[in-house]
Amino acid sequence: MATTTFSIDASEIRRQFPFFQPHPEMRSLIYLDNAATTQKPYSVIEAVSNFWAHHNANVHRGGHGAGAKASELYEAARQRVAQFLNAREPAEIVFTRGTTEAINLVASSWGEAFVKAGDEVIITEMEHHANLLPWMRLAEKQGATLKVWRITDDGRLNLDDLRTLLTERTRLVAVVHISNVLGVVNPVAEICRLAHDAGALCLVDAAQSVAHMPVDVQAIDCDFLMFSGHKAYGPTGIGALYAKRSLLEAMPPYQVGGGIVKTVSWERLVWSEPPAKFEAGTPPIGEAVGLHAALDFIDSIGRATIEAYEHELTRYALERLQEVPGLRLFGPTPDRAGIFAFMLEDIHPHDIATVLDARDIAIRSGLHCAHPLGARLGGSTARASLAVYNDTAHIDALIEGLHEVRKVFGYV
């Protein structure tokens, strides 16, 4: 191990995060729960504070220069997201609270308008509840059929299985880009191609991918893609939905209220153009400014660089996890993202997490909001997940901690 040199000096990156600075009242943490949420760099925190302090005003409503400036910052954030995802134009980006809201928006607005009785929606067995429950509900509401694309025993999706599932009644394939449990990186471009060949649309849940690898919506050729700011070094309360413009134009509004109509009278109503049509009410303005700064942070390192570094770290982690007796890791190896869900002997994952927490190592345990997948894997798992500020020392600490867990529960 010792001879590997890594492409990033993570300690340099941690210096950009207040969370990792010594604090008189807080224990300093080895944070390995990045799939749940990432920490925030100073640049993001300051961009948000600075907005509240000096530029705060409501957007899109005539009157004064401060409002125009706030609108400009808000629209600049939209443009930044469009560029980040390589969308064709900013109007293809709708701001939402996060991934969950974005998928709900698509399932309600597009789904209720375009999925009819007898139609089919395909989702995978590894979906997070965010990409599962909206489709279960839609299928029930519309009398449509929800088809489940099962995973292989090593935690992958087999494209041949999809070919079998697709029919002329299939309207949508909804798939996660990187599984928040298995760490598998799904071949979304191929999946979109197969869906399109069958006349279906394709939705990609990119919650776990955008902060860890380059994501290009035109290269993937997906119809919908969404992510959450808080998993990409940004604030909570903001996320983005990408959708092809023609779809946004055809879809009815989701939430309704101020800002989404050109004119309303008791008799007549004219909707605004997208994306305004989908952003009823005062949007998360300060949060959009924070997301803008978060994407700048990511690109200041470079997504290809981040991907390569996390890949090196993942290889290191995979080797070291093998050293722990009785540890069963889920998902494919060695090609995978830095998300490691595992079981250890018969020790309950919650107990694993507690012993690690007492050693100031933060991991997560449970079903990770993917209950059907949990059932397939045999129950709860412990999960460690990486971000660009982690390094081998963190993985070493995790391994040492797991040995301690074994000891506490009498495995020696």
Ligand X SMILES: Cc1ncc(COP(=O)(O)O)c(C=O)c1O
52 binds its own copies (CB under 8 A): yes
**301 burial class (0-12, 13-18, 19+ CB within 10 angstroms)?**
middle
> Nearer to its own copies by C-beta: 58 or 333?
58
From the list other proteins, its own copies, ligand X, none, partner contacted by residue 372 (C-beta under 5 to 8 A by kind): its own copies
Return the closest-CA partner of residue 277 out of 138, 93, 99, 113.
Answer: 93
Q: Which of 38, 99, 142, 365 binds ligand X (CB under 6 A)?
A: 99
Q: Which residues pair with 120 in a beta bridge?
A: 145, 170
Q: Which of 263, 266, 267, 412 binds other proteins (CB under 8 A)?
A: 263
Q: How far apart are CA 220 and CA 175, in angstroms?
A: 12
Q: In the window 56-85, what residues touch other proteins (CB under 8 A)?
A: 60-65, 67-69, 72
119 binds its own copies (CB under 8 A): no
- CB 203 within 8 Å of CB 109: no
What Cα–Cα distance (Å) separates residue 321 from each residue in 131, 186, 222, 330, 342?
30, 23, 35, 12, 10
From the list other proteins, its own copies, ligand X, none, partner contacted by residue 272 (C-beta under 5 to 8 A by kind): other proteins
262 binds other proteins (CB under 8 A): yes
Omega before residue 283 within 30° of 0, cis = no
Active site residue 192: no
91 binds other proteins (CB under 8 A): no
From the list ligand X, other proteins, its own copies, none, partner contacted by residue 409 (C-beta under 5 to 8 A by kind): other proteins
285 binds its own copies (CB under 8 A): yes
Q: Which pairing describes strands 261-264 and 269-271: parallel, antiparallel, or unpaired?
A: antiparallel
- CB 185 within 8 Å of CB 178: yes
223 binds ligand X (CB under 6 A): no
Structure-block tokens of residue 181: 């449990």
Q: Which residues pair with 381 in a beta bridge?
A: 366
Q: In the window 161-220, what residues touch its own copies (CB under 8 A)?
A: none
389 binds its own copies (CB under 8 A): no
**Contact range with ligand X by CB under 6 A, out of 9-17, 80-88, 123-131, 269-277:** 123-131
Query: Using CB under 6 A as the criterion, which residues of the chain lie in contact with ligand X when the complex forms?
Result: 35, 98-100, 128, 130-131, 176, 180, 205, 207-208, 228, 258, 281-282, 369
